[in-house]
A and B are shown apart, each in its own frame.
Chain A
Amino acid sequence: MKRVYTGVLGAMMLAALASTALAETKLTIATVNNGDMIRMQGLTEDFTKDNPDITLEWVTLEENVLREKVTTDIAAKGGQFDVLTIGTYEVPIWGKKGWLVPLTGVDDPADLLPAMSGGLSVDGKLMAAPFYGESSMVMYRTDLIEKAGLKMPDAPTWEFIGQAARAMTDKAAETYGVCLRGKAGWGENMAFLTAMSNSFGARWFDENWKPQFDQPEWKATLDFYLSLMADAGPPGASSNGFNENLALFNSGKCGMWIDATVAASFVTNPKDSKVADKVGFALAPDNGLGKRGNWLWAWSLAIPAGTQKNDAAQKFIGWATSKRYTELVASKEGWANVPPGTRTSLYANPEYAKVPFAKMTLDSINSADPSNPTVKPVPYVGVQFVAIPEFAGIATTTGQIFSAALAGEKTADAALAEAQDAVTREMTKAGYIK
């Protein structure tokens, strides 16, 4: 009898130990609130089924809140997170500081789009794996452009955009030819204006880190933007960001909207958009200088250097950014809902090629080069940003100045002079300019 008791007790202890061992690794994942990320949270069973010893806990936050929180945590080595969702701006800066663990478990790294993996690597090591990538492009109303007697080329010039925007504008009917970002912020109007300025041959800094707002290329950029918005933009554009323009476009008030490729799925969704069946896509405009005004961005998964759960985190990132995950999403929710812009194989897939905005997204991503973003050489990496820690601060200041110019509070010349002064002061203080 005693032996039976001992046996039962032993079995119970073993079971208890096994269950603790199974639920041993709890990964805390910090992520942003967007469709692709939320979808992944619903599909994690596929991962936990193969990895019963790993449990996932999600902390979903608004992008700016997440950025502040994650930056504080990683800088102070707080260790609150095991996997981070970070943008293309942070990866090179944090990677260089040694705040991120190089990734070793990524599925077929050679399959990642070169524009993406290049921006996410430091010294040849992949520091973050892209979960979804985006660029920017022109979304336009096919009915309005036809009414204006024009035809949108696949790769329009800024001159054509200006002409089309003015022709489509009917202010009495509250139809505006073009909706562009005007809200101040480094990720708001400055993302658009920096990308646009590349196609005008402008750059933030010369090879010696001297700010370039006093150069004719920036003047041409800002003059064009301000006059286009004055003639064909909606009222109050200086407070419009992505969401405001999306609301305007979806209610049929914009002829064109140049913004993130991720918007394509929103404007073509008949549930949310009044103009879903009348939308066409084109590459971001150029000025004949060999560079287009589109940006490059990816939300990527990375591991903070302070984590104790590196192995489990590597496994998770490997799964979330794998081809298998892509197929899983396609099988459950259709190819249009697969996270775009990260893998060559996705665009080689004939099923995905049927998605209306697939080719335009790939072409847009491929035409952006973070190492050579503009016509002249630059000392920095980044298309719509400059990957230095000071950029968020200086670009927000510059964004406020340009937003004020859009609101009519100052001229383009005054705004550029003010931006040049402000950026020169900050860059001198930060030690870039001796």
Chain B
Amino acid sequence: MARAVSKRRKLIVTVLAWSIGLLIFFPILWTILTSFKSEGEAIELPPKFLFFAWTTENYAVVQERSNYLLFAMNSILLALGSTLFALVIAIPSAWAMAFAPGKRTKDLLMWMLSTKMMPPVGALIPLYLIFRDFGLLDTRGGIITVLMLLNLPIIIWMLYTYFKEIPGEILEASRMDGASLGKELLYVLTPMAIPGIASTLLLNIILAWNEAFWTLALTTKDAAPLTQFIASYSSPEGLFWAKLSAASTMAIAPILVLGWFAQKQLVRGLTFGAVK
């Protein structure tokens, strides 16, 4: 009896999980399908789901009109660069907060998080002026620094939570064995926190990849990532939905593939320490 109930429950949970998964994935699927329609079919009411005249014309037009590879390369560099740069700062910071907390560590953590609550537009003009004066407008270095600073609070918070799960005694033991601080961080702490670091890395790559406010405001052409590539296909007066969908599909494809292959790491990292 108990077995039957558990089977039924398993079935319900599976169906529910698939339904929610499909519901979340549906907008992406719809975008991909629209990218293979003609502009006329893209706006047709009622819309056709699968039975339409499939065409790759939109991809050809997008490819011809924009330098996709430059935008994609910038996206990869900005996402990877800002995340790696942030990890270099965040790992020692999170170590200090987790294993050598001071009187104000908790306040400091809360303050860091509070910076994420400020609307970014509030800092636009000052930052724009700084960028202008230092010649950083439309440079990869400039935008990597901004994205790094933007995601630093989240990275430190995530790493701090993972590090807290690691027994301090292990680090103490390594110190007893004569490991220096650098060695302790590099050879003892980091390998133990690999799942946490990996999920932090992946999540922040996704966040940096999707960041649109600062990348649109501070880049123009040389350092412009895929967010700008998509923005060039949107139009309030003119229906270019099929081309916009083709551009969107091309923009999300790399991160979709990365997310698919890394999903195990992501889930493992996000649930790390959730159940003791």
Q: Which residues of A does B touch, CB under 8 Å?
A: 28, 32-35, 38, 41, 57, 59-65, 68-69, 72, 76-81, 187-188, 241-243, 246-248, 250-251, 253, 260, 262-263, 266, 271-273
Q: Please choose the segment from B26-34, B151-159, B214-222 that sits at the chain A interface, where 4 or more of its residues have CB less than 8 A away.
A: B214-222
Cβ distance B129 to chain A, nearest Cβ, rounded Å:
6
Q: Are B45 and A62 in contact (CB under 8 A)?
A: no
Q: Please name the residue on chain B nearest to A250 by beta carbon.
A: B43
Q: Are A271 and B39 in contact (CB under 8 A)?
A: yes
Q: Please name the residue on chain A nearest to B131 by beta carbon.
A: A78
Q: Are A59 and B235 in contact (CB under 8 A)?
A: no
Q: Are B216 and A65 in contact (CB under 8 A)?
A: yes
B122-141 Cβ-contact flags toward A at 8 Å (1 or 0): 00110011011000011000
Q: Which residues of B does A touch, CB under 8 Å?
A: 38-40, 43-45, 65, 124-125, 128-129, 131-132, 137-138, 216-217, 220-221, 224, 228, 231-240
Q: Is the interface of B mostly helix, strand, loop or mixed?
A: loop
Q: Are A63 and B236 in contact (CB under 8 A)?
A: yes
Q: Which residues does chain B contribute within 8 Å of A63, judged by CB atoms? A: 235-237
Q: Kindly name the residue among A78, A260, A266 whose own CB sees the greatest number of chain B CB atoms within 10 A.
A: A78
Cβ distance B201 to chain A, nearest Cβ, rounded Å:
29
Given known pairs A68-B217, A72-B125, the reply for A62 and B231 (CB within 8 Å) is yes
Q: Please name the residue on chain A nearest to B66 by beta carbon.
A: A60
Q: Are B238 and A35 in contact (CB under 8 A)?
A: yes
Q: Which residues does chain A contribute within 8 Å of B128, judged by CB atoms? A: 72, 76, 78
**A62-B232, A272-B39 provided; 10 other pairs, C-beta below 8 A?**
A33-B235, A35-B238, A59-B221, A61-B228, A65-B231, A243-B236, A247-B239, A250-B43, A260-B237, A262-B237
20 A/B residue pairs, CB under 8 Å, sorted by A:
A33-B233, A33-B235, A38-B65, A41-B65, A59-B232, A62-B233, A63-B235, A65-B231, A65-B234, A68-B217, A76-B129, A76-B132, A80-B137, A242-B236, A243-B239, A247-B239, A250-B239, A251-B44, A272-B39, A272-B40
A166–B125 Cα distance when bound, in Å, is: 50
Q: Are B237 and A80 in contact (CB under 8 A)?
A: no
Q: Kindly name the residue among A57, A59, A248, A262 whose own CB sees the greatest number of chain B CB atoms within 10 A.
A: A59
Q: Which residues does chain B contribute within 8 Å of A68, judged by CB atoms? A: 216-217
Cβ distance B133 to chain A, nearest Cβ, rounded Å:
10
Q: Which residues does chain A contribute within 8 Å of B40, judged by CB atoms? A: 250, 271-273
A241–B43 Cα distance when bound, in Å, is: 14
Q: Are A62 and B234 in contact (CB under 8 A)?
A: yes
Cβ distance B82 to chain A, nearest Cβ, rounded Å:
21
Given known pairs A34-B235, A247-B45, the reply for A69 and B217 (CB within 8 Å) is yes
Cβ distance A278 to chain B, nearest Cβ, rounded Å:
16
Cβ distance A332 to chain B, nearest Cβ, rounded Å:
16
Q: Are B45 and A253 in contact (CB under 8 A)?
A: yes
A65–B224 Cα distance when bound, in Å, is: 14
A95–B45 Cα distance when bound, in Å, is: 44
